[in-house]
Structure 1
Amino acid sequence: MRARSAFVYALLRLLAFFVPFGIMMLFPVLREQYWLAAIFAALIGLSLSMLFLRRPLDEVSTGIAETRAARKRAESDEAVEDAAN
Structure 2
Amino acid sequence: MRARSAFVYSLLRLLAFFVPFGVMMLFPILREHYWLAAIFAALIGLSLSMLFLRRPLDEVSTGLSERREERRRNARDESVEDAATD
TM-score normalized by structure 1? 0.99
User: How far is the alpha carbon of 1:76 from its aligned partner?
Assistant: 0.4
Partner of 1:46: 46
The residue type paired with residue 9 of structure 2 is Y
| Residue correspondence of structure 1 range 11-50 to structure 2 within 5 A | 11-50=11-50
Q: Which runs of 4+ in 1 moved over 2 A?
A: none
Partner of 2:65: 65
The residue type paired with residue 78 of structure 1 is E
Q: When the two structures are aligned, how many residues end up with a matched partner?
A: 85
TM-score normalized by structure 2? 0.98
CA distance in 1, matches of 2:74, 2:25: 51
Percent identity between matched residues is: 82
Consecutive unaligned residues of structure 1, counting only runs of 5 or more, are none
Consecutive unaligned residues of structure 2, counting only runs of 5 or more, are none
CA distance in 2, matches of 1:83, 1:48: 51
